[in-house]
């Protein structure tokens, strides 16, 4: 595979406007420092709803997105943005499981997934590679490393979750919609709030909740969190 540039020298050939969506000001500040150092113009949003509004009002060449954000969740943000815009690259930067969420966000239309444990240098490289039409995927093994592969080689089969490899990942059993409901519920949202954000009825949200709990063999979200911490 031909090696593409991943250094500051590549910046002059790249787009300049980036939107950072994360609810932690300190994290946004760190990302802003890296991006500004590369010559990018940076705008920020503290939640998914604000981020989606900005994307509707402005054109961005890249969106850096945390999944676990208030308001509109990260996965629902991707779904809604892709409904109206299939061109803006999205790089997900999350503390959630790369094995579970990486393939899912790729299937939904994100161009990369990076662990929040990755260094700022790793972030710099990932940004440059995504903007050079590269998919950044999680490495297996120790540490929050990243691997890259050309977009045209990222077939649907390559991005599908491997059930055998993810046997130890309970959340891999959930559908995308169940995962969205779970992600919002674990933030402490009520069924009513989740229903409003996902444009569903409360009854439907309750059904999704009971279904995902049954799939994972637990009776409550608290029990599920304990299971995931083992």
What does the pLDDT look like over 68-121, one tens digit per residue? 888 888 999 999 999 988 889 999 999 887 888 888 899 899 999 999 888 888
The residues with which 150 forms a beta bridge, in sequence order, are: 134
The whole-angstrom separation of Cα 71 and Cα 225 is 21
Range(s) of the chain covered by CATH 1.10.10.10: 170-227
Range(s) of the chain covered by CATH 3.40.50.2300: 17-132
Which segments of the chain have a pLDDT < 50? 1-7, 10, 14-15, 134-135, 137-167
Burial of 99 from C-beta contacts in 10 A (0-12 / 13-18 / 19+): middle
Q: Which residues contact 72 (CB under 8 A, 6 or more apart)?
A: 47, 48, 49, 51, 52, 80, 197
What residue has token string 């999944």? 67
In SS3 terms, 90-109 reads as EEEEECCCHHHHHHHHHHHC
The whole-angstrom separation of Cα 20 and Cα 38 is 15
Q: What is the CATH number of domain 17-132?
A: 3.40.50.2300
**With respect to CATH, is domain 170-227 assigned 1.10.10.10?**
yes
Q: Which residues contact 227 (CB under 8 A, 6 or more apart)?
A: 170, 216, 218
* Predicted local distance difference test score (pLDDT) of residue 146: 41
């Amino acid at each position: 595979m031909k090696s593409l540039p991943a250094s500051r020298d590549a910046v002059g050939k790249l787009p300049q406007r980036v939107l950072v969506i994360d609810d932690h000001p300190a994290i946004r500040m760190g990302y802003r420092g890296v991006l500004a150092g590369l010559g990018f113009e940076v705008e920020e949003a503290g939640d998914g709803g604000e981020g989606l509004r900005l994307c509707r009002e402005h054109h961005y060449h890249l969106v850096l997105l945390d999944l676990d954000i208030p308001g509109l969740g990260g996965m629902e943000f991707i779904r809604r943005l892709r409904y109206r815009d299939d061109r803006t690259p999205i790089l997900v930067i999350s503390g959630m499981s790369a094995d579970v969420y990486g393939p899912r966000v790729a299937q939904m239309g994100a161009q990369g997934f990076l662990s929040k444990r990755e260094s700022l240098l790793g972030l710099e490289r990932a940004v440059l590679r995504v903007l050079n039409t590269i998919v950044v995927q999680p490495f297996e093994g120790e540490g929050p490393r990243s691997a890259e592969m050309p977009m045209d080689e990222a077939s649907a089969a390559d991005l599908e979750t491997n059930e055998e490899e993810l046997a130890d990942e309970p959340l891999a059993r959930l559908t995308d919609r169940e995962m969205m409901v779970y992600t919002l519920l674990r933030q402490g949202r009520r069924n009513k709030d989740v229903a409003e954000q996902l444009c569903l009825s409360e009854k439907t949200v309750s059904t999704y909740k009971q279904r995902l709990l049954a799939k994972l063999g637990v009776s409550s979200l608290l029990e599920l969190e304990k299971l995931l911490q083992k």
